[in-house]
Structure 1
Amino acid sequence: MKDTRRTRVVLGALLVVALAMITIDYRGGDDSPLRGLRDVGATVFGPVERVSAAVVRPVGDTFDSITDAPGERRRADRLERQNQRLREQLRALSLDKDRSAQLQRMLGTAGTGGYKVLAAQVISAGQGFEDTVTIDVGSRGGVTRDMTVMSADGLVGRVTRVGPATATVLLATDQTSSIGSRLEASKEIGIVQGRGRRGFGGGGGTPLRFQLLDATAPIAVGQRIVTLGSQGQRPYVPGVPIGVVERIDRSAGGLTRTAYVRPFVRFTSLDVVAVVVAPPKQDPRDALLPPKPPPPAPSTSPSAHPSATPTRGKRPEARPSGTKSPFTRPSRGD
């Protein structure tokens, strides 16, 4: 179409007419004189509008999703990082509470025994043939070789190697470990030896072996064992709880008696420990042992029912005359 003066006049006139019709229709509302024309337009162009909207909407949604995808992805990544930080903070808070409780228990145990201790944390476990762990204190903190290491529950082991900021602890479960020990409430002594990792296998849970030096001395399942103490208080101070006798080797004819011991310490989950930097002034003996569990309540046997048979030598009581026995059948005349 050529852009002529006549064409522009026609388009202007049509625009004026359209604006006038819109104004009249808007002001008239439901009583508008153009209502019929509006209904005809809606009937004619409504289906076309719906079809075009159905065609255009998916295209628009796809375009919006493409343009918004980078922003949504960044938002999702940001939320995921925030959630991860919150989870880590919750774990750290729970871990700190647990470590604080362990530390309080350990300081209480050390105070009861009269030990001067240096708190430490296990930072790694040995991967070789030895049962060892590494702790986060060393010579700068006053740690030296052959110091006793304990936890709130009992004996952990002894220091074997020391660095400026770390130290290596040989666990009591190591096969080369040998600890002078004593039975509770007794003067009977022996040696606790480690059985290594094999002591944890097979559900046995007895990684320690106790050899009583006197083969005739009494020993029973359930007795507890504490450290005897080394000469010069190194590498082991006296009175540290070791474990409970769970099984006794009954083989006869040996020079010693052997028992298998379940330790008080869970060596597979060590965390907060203490290095004994100064021994007690006197042997605490059994003061650090935990309270014994109460004995099981005796089972109540059912009450005996009285026998219907009269006791020998006693005659049954005579029944009053006229009283029928519940065990006799009435006579035919009754």
Structure 2
Amino acid sequence: MPPGTLERTAPSLFRHGPSPRARLLLYAALALFLMVADARFRVTEPLRNAVATVLYPLQWLMLQPVQFISQGAERLQSLEQAQHERDSAQQALVQLAQRAGQAEQLLSENTQLRELLALRERITTPARAAQVLYDTPDAYTRRVVVDQGQLAGVAPGSPVMDARGVLGQVTRVHPALSEVTLLIDRDQAIPVLNVRTGARSVAYGDPVAAHGGGMELRFTPGNTDVQEGDLLATSGIDGVYPPGLPVARVVHVERRADSTFARIYCEPLAQMQGARHVMLLEPVAAALPELPPPEPAAGQKKRVQSTPAAEAAAKGGRR
């Protein structure tokens, strides 16, 4: 047998290592020694730091998906919360706008009511307050409906005015409602008096005028002293409107050589569109006391109606 082929290692029969129990005891003693040494002398601290430094990139890389998912969930939650807060803020703004509009409307109504009350103090004619409900659906007339009617004692022909001036006249009365024809209606007319000159005239409604309707003084001679800016008030000669109520103001005077009468356009002082609170006055004729019957003149005998009893008494007396 060649010398290089001889096995130089010990046979398996002579290769006996420590037994498993001995290894367990050895490893347990080593672990206990390392634990005590680490607790007392911190001999494994450099090794732990080195291992942590080596494993940190791997830990960071493994934590990125978790952090990404967590941050995405937080962002979605914050976005939903922001949207909810935005919706709540918009609702609060809408409510504040509604309250502001209501407050402004109440302030305007309060101002109008105060003006009406002050106007009521200046007017001696009996009156009652009313509220405008809506405009009539008829497109060819200019009328509004108020919430006072026959049950409240409203009579046809009652003048209607707001805090600025005469608004119109009650033309139809229902049990709980009344229709008011505005002064700018084409069939409405009102006797007026020029406050500056004292000249009397009649103002007619002109629904096709600018700014939603106006009035016109018709059949006025061209040489009449009328100027732009003149104030027109009720004359009181019709027995309906009390005298001195403001009606309109002259805005344009047109005199033409080919016409005998002047074209005088007026603008009503009352709020013809959008009026909410008005005052219903009693007609002047209804407020006047009834005149007693005329007494016979002195020396004039009263005529006595003849009756059958009186004729019989007269015949008996003659006998």
TM range (shorter): 0.5 to 0.7
Quote the offset at 1:62 in angstroms.
4.8
* In 2: Cα distance, 1:151 partner to 1:171 partner: 12
* In 1: Cα distance, 2:247 partner to 2:222 partner: 21
Residue of 227, 239, 251 corresponding to 1:246: 251
Distance 1:57 1:220, change over 3 A: same
- Structure-2 residue corresponding to 1:162: 173
What CA deviation, in whole Å up to 9, does each residue of 1:21-49 have, x standing for no partner?
8xx99x99xx9665534543543443344
Residue of 55, 59, 65 corresponding to 2:69: 59
Distance 1:265 1:71, change over 3 A: same
**1:224 and 2:231 aligned:** yes
* In 1: Cα distance, 2:150 partner to 2:83 partner: 51
- 8 A Cα contact 2:157 2:283, kept in partner: no
What residue ranges of structure 1 are gaps of 5+ in the alignment? 1-9, 11-16, 283-334
What CA deviation, in whole Å up to 9, does each residue of 1:170-214 have, x standing for no partner?
111112221111111433211111211x3125xxx7721112545
- Structure-1 residue corresponding to 2:198: 187
Distance 1:74 1:257, change over 3 A: same
Distance 1:214 1:162, change over 3 A: same
- 8 A Cα contact 1:207 1:261, kept in partner: yes
- Structure-2 residue corresponding to 1:123: 133
Residue of 151, 154, 158 corresponding to 1:140: 151
Q: Percent identity between the aligned chains?
A: 21
Quote the offset at 1:73 in angstroms.
6.6
* Moved beyond 4 Å, runs of 4+: 31-35, 61-80, 212-215, 278-282
Residue identity matched to 1:178 = A
* In 2: Cα distance, 1:32 partner to 1:115 partner: 110
Quote the offset at 1:68 in angstroms.
8.6
Residue of 100, 103, 124 corresponding to 1:90: 100
* In 1: Cα distance, 2:67 partner to 2:175 partner: 70
Quote the offset at 1:79 in angstroms.
5.0
**1:269 and 2:274 aligned:** yes
Which has the larger displacement, 108-117 or 152-161?
Answer: 108-117
Aligned residue pair count: 256
Distance 1:141 1:90, change over 3 A: farther
- 8 A Cα contact 2:222 2:255, kept in partner: no
Distance 1:88 1:185, change over 3 A: same
What CA deviation, in whole Å up to 9, does each residue of 1:110-169 have, x standing for no partner?
322323332233332334221222333333333332211111111111122333443322
* In 2: Cα distance, 1:155 partner to 1:34 partner: 105
What CA deviation, in whole Å up to 9, does each residue of 1:220-253 have, x standing for no partner?
22211012236332xx333221121121121246
**1:105 and 2:110 aligned:** no
- Structure-1 residue corresponding to 2:124: 114
**1:260 and 2:270 aligned:** no
SS at match of 1:267: coil
- 8 A Cα contact 1:113 1:239, kept in partner: no
- Structure-2 residue corresponding to 1:321: none
Which has the larger displacement, 170-179 or 71-80?
Answer: 71-80
Distance 1:32 1:123, change over 3 A: farther
